[in-house]
Amino acid sequence: MLLPRPTVRWRLTLLYSLLFLICGTALLAITYGLFANFAISPPKEPGNPTMVQVEMAMSSVRSNGLHRLQLYSGIALAIMTIVSIVLGWLLAGRVLAPLRTITATADRISDTNLHERLGMSGPRDELRLLADTIDRLLARLEAAFDAQRRFVANASHELRTPLAMMRTTLDVAIAKPGGVPAQTRELDAELRVDLDHADQLLESFLTLARAQNGQLDERNRVALEPLISSALSDRADQIAAKDLTIETDLDAVEVAGSPTLLGRMIENVIENAVRHTKPGGLVEIALASSDDRQARVVIASSGRLLDPGAVAQLAQPFKRLSQDRTRSQDGHGLGLSIVAAVAAAHGGQLDLHAPAEGGLQVNITLPAVSLPQLAQATQ
């Protein structure tokens, strides 16, 4: 566990150090070999005891020198190996710095800021080519996302006309002089329910497209507490019919943004909690600010145990937890995706959790504007 994480920087550092160690060892071995084979042999005179003593002394000095050379070379090699590791670490960090920049920027870019680019400058080396390739990929993704959102918005607008014509046709048919049969009135009521559902679906498409495009036509100070109270009041009959217990803990928190989109966000998340909480269940709603910087809305509903992996995908369009939701006529699978898009358009985020005791917990964080700041701003 004490070993460093096997990153590319560490691998490059070890590679640099290993190459230095091999080259240094080879250099010292060559030097040692040359010195060991080099000997100064004085002219020999047979039977001269003095020369024999001189040769013995020189051999002793040579052996001692080789030993010292071997010792000092080993110490110098060990010191320079440590130095090479430090220098290799610094050099690897310098070489990989552009790659870290590319990774951090690519990780920050999402579907809400696809207009951002890496824009790496410098020589056209491998890293520059990689950055340019990612920029071209982001450009293609941005074009694809924009085309998808324009299609959704345009299709929603275009479909409103035939729906309005269908309503008009029903109005004409049901208003005929002399009255209409009861069976026709029942069919009219059923068709109007389906038309209302289609209108809600188209409105959800338009809201989702606006939020995903970041189109905030309004930038007002919006109090979240009245939005929550209004959404609960609008669903009072549904709450009473299911005998739900609603517990609220709401602080006075304001954010900057679009009242229309924020209201739709709060309505969707409360509607989701009320609709999918079983009769007799509990819904807890909390609104608070963190250091006057973030507004946090937490809505926890009781229920059965949910799969955390499936819960994490509920913010995607048309995602539901089970087939009973897919077949439900009360929802169309866009509620939480609209919540996520509206939160992102206001600089916040949506987090979904599956508590161990069951049910679903929805956390929404938004940049908050505290009341003291508002008072100072208006003075």
Task: Name the one residue in this structure whose structure tokens are 């160690």.
Answer: 21
**Residue in 373, 361, 170 with CA at minimum distance from that of residue 284:** 361
Q: Would you say residue 285 has pLDDT above 90?
A: yes
- Residue 12 near residue 95, CB atoms below 8 Å: yes
The one-character DSSP state at 329 is S
Question: pLDDT tens-digit profile of 329-347?
Answer: 445 566 787 788 888 878 8
Average predicted confidence (pLDDT) for the chain: 77
Rg (CA), the chain: 38
Mean pLDDT, residues 95-107: 81
Note the pLDDT of residue 317. 57
Distance (Å, whole) CA 82 – CA 88: 10
Fold of 127-212: Helix Hairpins (1.10.287)
61 alpha carbon, distance to own chain's centre: 71
Angle, vertex CA 90, rays to CA 87 and CA 94, nearest 5: 135
What residues contact 329, with CB distance under 8 A and at least 6 apart? 197
Q: How is residue 288 written in tokens?
A: 């608070």
Sign of CA dihedral 269, 271, 274, 278: negative
Does the pLDDT of residue 372 top 60, yes or no? no
Rounded to whole angstroms, the Cα distance separating 222 from 228 reads 12
**What is the maximal distance between C-alpha atoms in the chain?**
153
The pLDDT score that the predictor gives to residue 247 is: 92
* pLDDT surpasses 60 at 289: yes
pLDDT tens track for 196-242:
777 776 776 676 666 666 556 567 788 899 999 999 998 899 999 99
Place of tokens 């005179």: 45
Give the model's pLDDT for residue 3: 58
For residue 239, CA distances in Å to 128, 235, 279 come to 59, 6, 9
Whether the pLDDT of residue 5 is over 80: the answer is: no
pLDDT given at position 228? 92
DSSP result, 294-306 = EEEEEEEE--S--
Rounded Cα gap, residues 35 and 301, in angstroms: 84
Residue 88 pLDDT greater than 80, yes or no:
yes
With 0-12 / 13-18 / 19 or more C-beta atoms within 10 angstroms meaning exposed / middle / buried, residue 264 is: buried
Q: Which amino acid is at 210?
A: R
Q: Residue 325 pLDDT more than 50?
A: no
Lowest-pLDDT choice from 163-167, 249-253, 289-293, 325-329: 325-329
Most confidently predicted of 58-62, 100-104, 209-213:
100-104
Check: CB of residue 304 under 8 Å from CB of residue 358. yes
Residue 170 has pLDDT above 50, yes or no: yes
Q: Which distant-in-sequence residues (6+ apart) come within 8 Å of 166 by Cβ?
A: 191, 195
**Residue environment code for 214-234, b if the CB has 16+ CB neighbours within 10 A, otherwise e:** eebeeeeebbbeebbeebbee
The fold of the 220-378 domain, in CATH, is Heat Shock Protein 90 (3.30.565)
Domain extent listing, the chain: 8-101, 127-212, 220-378
pLDDT for residue 265 is more than 80: yes
From the list 20, 122, 366, the residue with the least C-alpha distance to 221 is 366
Residue 28 has pLDDT above 70, yes or no: yes
CA torsion, ordered 22, 24, 26, 29, to nearest 10 deg:
-140
pTM above 0.85, yes or no: no
How do residues 238-250 score in pLDDT, each as one tens digit?
999 999 999 999 8
Predicted pLDDT of residue 131? 83
